[in-house]
Structure 1
Amino acid sequence: MSWTRREFLTRTAALGVFGAGASACSSTVDGSPRPGAAPPPAEQSVAPSGVPSIRLGIVQYQPYTVEQNGEAAGPVPDVARAVLAKLGHSDVGIELFRDEPAVVAGLRAERFDLVGGVAVRAELCRETRYSLPDTVTGTALIVPSDNPKGLRTYAEVVAAKAKVAVMTGLAERQDAMRAGVPAADVVEVPVAHQLVDAVRGGQVDCAAFDDVAARDMARVLGDGAVVTTESFFPPGRSPVIGAYLFSAASAADLLEPFNATLRELHDSGEWLELVEPYGFTAANQPPPGLTTEQACG
């Protein structure tokens, strides 16, 4: 079975592959109450200021969305709340979903004003409205803490004749081979945590994965024995770009001020302050000038 990266991250979060904090953090998941959860807030509740609440749907996966003290946290909800608060929307109702199709269907049905945790894709660009790009993710290598072979990108893997572990069904296998790594030196593993295990056990010299997820796994599972390289973009493949998706109705009034405020958040450095605690770095900030139209291709 071949998964998209987004499907993989959603499923590993649901299964807790990356460790604690993968459980849902709002009172509803996939539209159904969680066992023992507080009753969901009314969708059309009104804040004391009289500003109608904003309904935000999120595709849940770590470390983009995590649970902290029973609240949705992480770059996706935190950045959205920061932007919306600056626009006067202090009452934001968040609903988490395991699967992207479900939350996109909710957006189409006007159940949400916007959704987060959805990568920019051409087919969605044609029928909905994206915000400005909010995140970019590339690739990082998981290496032993002393990185004895000095591996930084696939170029060093090729030069050192090193072995690299990748997860079955994801893009890193093709990326590595496109960069010149021989097929015999690409070792596939079926489960994400085995990338770290393979490096720690010496079966491979490094493992390649989504940069943000790689850092999270190294931190949670590495026990100090592994580190990650700086993010890089493999030749021949565009980075994964994350943005917020708006319903047709909400885009008319909300998209333009949301974009202006999101841009201010990035330009001021406040965006980086919000996302750094979750393992994001300046490398995950979209390059200046990257537009929604360019991201949509």
Structure 2
Amino acid sequence: MKKFFHMLITLMMVGVLVGCGTQTSGSQAGTGDQPSGDSSSGEQSAETTLAKIKSAGKVTVGFANEKPYAYKDENGKLTGEAVEIARTILNKMGVKEMEPVLVEFGALIPGLKAKRFDMITAGMYITPDRCKSVAFAEPEYSIGEALAVKKGNPLNLKSYEDIVNNKEAKVAVMAGAAEEGYLKKMGAAEDQIVIVPDQPAAIKALQSDRVHAITMTGPSLQAVLDSANDDTLERVMDFDQPVIDGKGVRGYGATAFRQEDTALREAFNAELKKLKESGELLNIIKPFGFTEQELPGDMTAEKLCKPE
């Protein structure tokens, strides 16, 4: 009987050991299948994300519903300047499907860091503060101020300084827009600034000669001119960007990734560079109101991430 109990206890101990061994093995395998996270180098983690989306042929992208950068059209399709750039680049990388996640703008970076999505593309400007939280690809567009005038530019207005220096010049600005503050800081008189309620009112003011110019950000102005379809109006294509309090007002937008996703960001940047060099980038962003003036030039994410 004793011998029987000894054998039973021995068998039970072997079973426990085997069970523990299987559980430990499973835990180790599970860890190896996950992104490497904080325990490994950033590059290893990035390679895991890049490999994952290439293998699946699908990427999850976070975006805020904001035209012209990222939005759903009337058919429910995700589109926009930032989206179409990302879609083109990802296709060239072999990732054909983009799975959208719509969130508020303020939830994009937290959601990216929490791995709710693989990347975010929503017209987000590169700033030193944001660079502390995410890794930006190279800028894909820039946004500055713009000016529209009557054809031929009768007063030769090519900057806010030109408006300030010509006391006859009047410019229409939408109520609450930043341009009013810019003009005043640069010395424009109160009677030079004509406040209008909306974009159509600005166009009408220019068409009726109430003002000599209208101003707003580049893509917004281009969209307004395209809608007006009036060949007596034109955009000032050699407009000089204002400098306010010693700083330029031009912003640069880009797609953002988790900081550890180095390989994914570098692969994205490599394809973006090709789009810039071939001229294809401009063709992609033109339907959304962007022109040559909105191209990023030689600005880099590294420079934009440096504290001022």
TM-score, L = length of structure 2: 0.71
Other-structure match for 2:149? 143
Q: Structure 1: which 5+ runs fail to align?
A: 1-45
- Is 1:53 paired with 2:61? no
Pairwise CA distance, 1:130: 1.0
- Is 1:115 paired with 2:100? no
Which one-letter code corresponds to 1:123 in the other structure? D
Q: Which segment is superposed worse, 180-189 or 253-262?
A: 180-189
1:190 and 1:104 map into 2 onto residues whose CA distance is 33
Q: CA RMSD in A?
A: 2.5
Other-structure match for 1:32? none
SS at match of 1:61: coil
Pairwise CA distance, 1:90: 1.0
Other-structure match for 1:245? 256
SS at match of 2:142: strand
Deviations, residues 68-90 of structure 1 (Å, cap 9, x unaligned) = 75422332111101111111111
Which one-letter code corresponds to 1:177 in the other structure? K
SS at match of 2:129: helix
Pairwise CA distance, 1:153: 1.9
1:270 and 1:186 map into 2 onto residues whose CA distance is 38
2:149 and 2:75 map into 1 onto residues whose CA distance is 32
| Contact 1:215-1:227 within 8 A present in 2 as well | no
- Is 1:172 paired with 2:179? yes
SS at match of 1:217: helix
- Is 1:291 paired with 2:290? no
SS at match of 1:78: helix
1:83 and 1:222 map into 2 onto residues whose CA distance is 32
Other-structure match for 2:195? 188
Deviations, residues 182-201 of structure 1 (Å, cap 9, x unaligned) = 23312233434432233234
| Contact 1:63-1:216 within 8 A present in 2 as well | no
- Is 1:226 paired with 2:229? no
| Contact 1:51-1:88 within 8 A present in 2 as well | no
2:265 and 2:84 map into 1 onto residues whose CA distance is 18
1:78 and 1:68 map into 2 onto residues whose CA distance is 16
CA change 1:294–1:252 in 2 (3 A) is closer
The structure with more helix, counted as a fraction of residues = 2
Which one-letter code corresponds to 2:282 in the other structure? L
CA change 1:96–1:189 in 2 (3 A) is farther
- Is 1:198 paired with 2:212? no
CA change 1:199–1:95 in 2 (3 A) is farther
Which one-letter code corresponds to 2:281 in the other structure? W
What number of residue pairs does the alignment pair up?
248
2:186 and 2:174 map into 1 onto residues whose CA distance is 17
| Contact 2:119-2:256 within 8 A present in 1 as well | yes
Give 1:153's match in structure 2, choosing from 141, 155, 159.
159
Sequence identity (%): 29
Q: Structure 2: which 5+ runs fail to align?
A: 1-51
Other-structure match for 2:79? 73
1:50 and 1:257 map into 2 onto residues whose CA distance is 15
Pairwise CA distance, 1:225: 5.1
